[in-house]
Amino acid sequence: MIKAAGGGGGKGMRIAWNDQEARDSFRITKQEAASAFGDDRILIEKFIDNPRHIEIQVLSDGKGNTLYLNERECSIQRRNQKVLEEAPSSFLDPQTRKAMGEQACALANTVGYRSAGTCEFLVDPKKNFYFLEMNTRLQVEHPVTEYTTGLDLVELMIRIAAGEKLSMQQKDVPLKGWAMEARVYAEDPVRNFLPSIGTIYKYVEPKSSDGTVRVDSGIREGDEISIHWDPLISKLVTYGKDRKEAIDKLAKALDSYIIRGVNHNVPFLRAVLEHPRYIKGDISTKFIPQEYPEGFKGIQLNPTQTEELVSSAAVLHFVRGSRDATVSGKLASFERPENRELTITVNDKEHNVVVEGAEGYYKVKLDGKVQDVQTRWHPESTIFTAIINSKERTLQLVDTMSMGYQLQHYGTVFNVLVRGRKQAELAKFMPVKQAIDTSKMLQSPMPGKVISVAVQVGDKVNLGQEVLVLEAMKMQNILRASRDCTVKSIKVKKGDNVNVDQILVEFD
């Protein structure tokens, strides 16, 4: 493991599996560390394969009183940066929790630490734990500890800084309920979580009436996400009496979280919450590469989820059409059969649909199977909430298309074609637009800045060879050749700012 000595949050950290990766990673990590932290010193340490990342929150008043406030599980990570956290861990038993907590307190006492801090550990499948580092600050994921202990860490830090002693003992530290935190990033999960930039033109955070949903953010509508800062949009935190309730609340909150203007990782977060391994708590820091070895492509809907999407689209279209029919002077065409008898296409599969009902209660006959849909949705609303076959579901109307809608379901946006039967039949005769051949081009996978160009026109390059280095949001990425070829032209130079999908190099 090659790490920036002054790093944090997973930046400036790479794994080297062979000599060439060690050389490349050492060079890139030093550059990245100097850029992000002003310190290019490097640490080399043993890499522990397939561990869990579990950390202990400590609190020390500098007067001999040091407590551990239980643990946080932070194993769902990409690029060594945390994505989903929870407290407590579903893996630890009381004995291991106590042993890790006492070790963390011993470290804090040995160095005379005073304030809140976190000792991070890697824990192997046999519950052996290895010290990773201590973060001498308040961490991003501290809200899950606040929910499960009932303690305000910021207040306690201020009191300690003012010279006060801790008023509780270790036996007084509670552990109640379960809390989940999702880090919502401006990034594109289908492009290997590469950063996304742009202006946020619509932004609505989820809320709860009982205080069990919390959003810590620093943005608002109209703000710009640029290449110069960390892509974190917010921390979305939920609390429940147990792990299942906390997960369910987080899923519902993600479904109603409106972010427009940049790509974001809500689709990925939502997919993980549906994953059987995550639901069981069977996770490690390798969860993402193990479960998405070819990259994340969006949630793969099962038949029931597909029926929910199609039924929602049908009712949404029906309600919009009913509203349109009330406009004065408009031809009364909505009552014609083709406006109730639809062909709805999702993922290239056509479904025959008939919609009946009114005033919030609808029967959707979908491929011969009846779906009950209850909703008071109004066409002015972005959020479509309905009870479908006795289950509450929340979708988002992202955009309208000429013959359908873009609907967000389980976090992923789907193009849903909604057409009358005759329209669907005639559409088969429409020409299909051919995609541009980009096989001989190296395109920018993200907006960023060119740090270096390693090739020249006429060079012969091999599969996997470095072509250039691109920096975005303080992280450097090596772009490599995807096959053996010859460099035909280079469209950029060192220092250039580039956009996503911009052509950087052409090959013969």
Among the listed residues 124, 100, 129, 120, the one whose alpha carbon sits nearest the alpha carbon of residue 50: 124
287 and 160, same domain (yes or no):
yes
171 and 312, same domain (yes or no):
no
For residue range 381-399, list pLDDT tens digits in order.
999 999 999 999 999 999 9
Q: What is the pTM of this model?
A: 0.84
Residue 433 lies in a domain: no
* Cβ within 8 Å of residue 48, ≥6 positions away: 122, 124, 130
| Segment among 41-50, 138-147, 252-261 with least mean pLDDT | 41-50
Residue 79 near residue 11 (C-beta atoms within 8 A): no
477 and 420, same domain (yes or no):
no
Task: Exactly one of 55, 85, 133, 294 is catalytic; name it.
Answer: 133
Instruction: Specify the length of the chain in residues.
Output: 508
Give CA–CA dist 81/36, Å, rounded: 15
Question: Does residue 228 register a pLDDT over 90?
Answer: no
| Segment among 246-260, 332-346, 439-453, 460-474 with least mean pLDDT | 332-346
Residue 435 lies in a domain: no
Residue 434 lies in a domain: no
Question: Does residue 334 register a pLDDT over 60?
Answer: no
Average pLDDT, integer, range 245-269? 97
Question: Does residue 337 register a pLDDT over 60?
Answer: no
Residue 349 near residue 301 (C-beta atoms within 8 A): no
Residue 135 near residue 121 (C-beta atoms within 8 A): no
Question: Does residue 258 register a pLDDT over 70?
Answer: yes
> Is 86 in the active site?
no
Average pLDDT, integer, range 400-419? 95
Over the chain, what is the mean pLDDT?
Answer: 92
User: How many structural domains does the chain have?
Assistant: 4
318 and 258, same domain (yes or no):
no
CATH (domain of 333): 3.30.700.30
Which of 13 and 345 is assigned the larger pLDDT? 345
Give CA–CA dist 261/485, Å, rounded: 37
56 and 43, same domain (yes or no):
no
**Given this model, what pLDDT does residue 9 score?**
62
Question: Does residue 333 register a pLDDT over 80?
Answer: no
Give CA–CA dist 9/185, Å, rounded: 13
For the chain, helix, strand, coil in percent to 5 are: 25, 35, 40
| Segment among 2-11, 163-172, 177-186, 413-422 with least mean pLDDT | 2-11
Question: Does residue 329 register a pLDDT over 80?
Answer: no
Cα distances (angstroms) measured from residue 346 to each of 372, 406, 411, 427: 20, 11, 16, 15
Q: Which domain holds residue 390?
A: 303-427
Residue 297 lies in a domain: no
282 and 327, same domain (yes or no):
no
**Given this model, what pLDDT does residue 504 score?**
96
**Given this model, what pLDDT does residue 11 score?**
72
Furthest-apart CA atoms within the chain: distance in Å:
82
13 and 26, same domain (yes or no):
yes
Does an H or E element contain 77, and which? strand 66-78
Question: Does residue 505 register a pLDDT over 70?
Answer: yes
DSSP state of 314: H
Average pLDDT, integer, range 474-501? 90
Strands 115-123 and 129-135: antiparallel
**Given this model, what pLDDT does residue 446 score?**
83
For residue range 264-293, list pLDDT tens digits in order.
999 999 999 999 999 999 999 999 999 999
109 and 220, same domain (yes or no):
yes
Give CA–CA dist 101/170, Å, rounded: 10
The first and second tokens of residue 199, run together, are 């202006």
The first and second tokens of residue 508, run together, are 């013969």
**Given this model, what pLDDT does residue 105 score?**
97
403-426: buried (b, 16+ CB within 10 Å) or exposed (e) per residue?
ebbebbbbbbebebbbbbeeebee
Residue 130 near residue 122 (C-beta atoms within 8 A): yes
Average pLDDT, integer, range 182-199? 91
